[in-house]
């Protein structure tokens, strides 16, 4: 699993702080941005759940419309 943003910033900060005592957290955040974006990402489970919910609501809407049409015809 990929590192979280906080973990990457802390790691970059510690590595560079050891080399340069004047290194600041602000600089670590800028440098960590390059490292964090290059990490491979896995698809989170939340996205798949959200997509399933959207399809379920679309199907429910279709069934409601078809029910309305039959009531008007009666």
Tens digits of residue pLDDT in 40-54: 766 555 555 555 555
Q: What is the pLDDT of residue 5?
A: 92
- Rg over alpha carbons for the chain, rounded to the nearest Å, is 25
Give the position of tokens 């990490």: 39
In this predicted structure, what is the pLDDT of residue 17?
96
The pLDDT, as a whole number, for residue 70 is 60
| pLDDT (0 to 100) of residue 19 | 95
Which position has the token pair 């941005």?
33
pLDDT tens for residues 14-43? 999 999 999 999 999 999 999 888 877 665
Please give the full DSSP string across 1-46, using - where no structure is assigned.
-PPPHHHHHHHHHHHHHHH-TT--HHHHHHHHHHHHHHS--PPPHH
Domain boundaries, the chain: 1-42, 44-74
C-alpha 44/C-alpha 69 separation (Å) is 40
């Amino acid at each position: 699993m990929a590192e979280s943003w906080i973990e990457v910033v802390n790691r970059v900060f510690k590595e560079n702080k050891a080399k340069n005592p004047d290194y600041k957290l602000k600089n670590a955040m800028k440098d960590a941005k390059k490292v964090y974006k290059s990490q491979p990402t896995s698809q989170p489970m939340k996205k798949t759940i959200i997509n399933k919910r959207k399809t379920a609501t679309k199907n429910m809407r279709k069934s409601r419309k078809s029910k309305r049409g039959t009531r008007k015809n009666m």
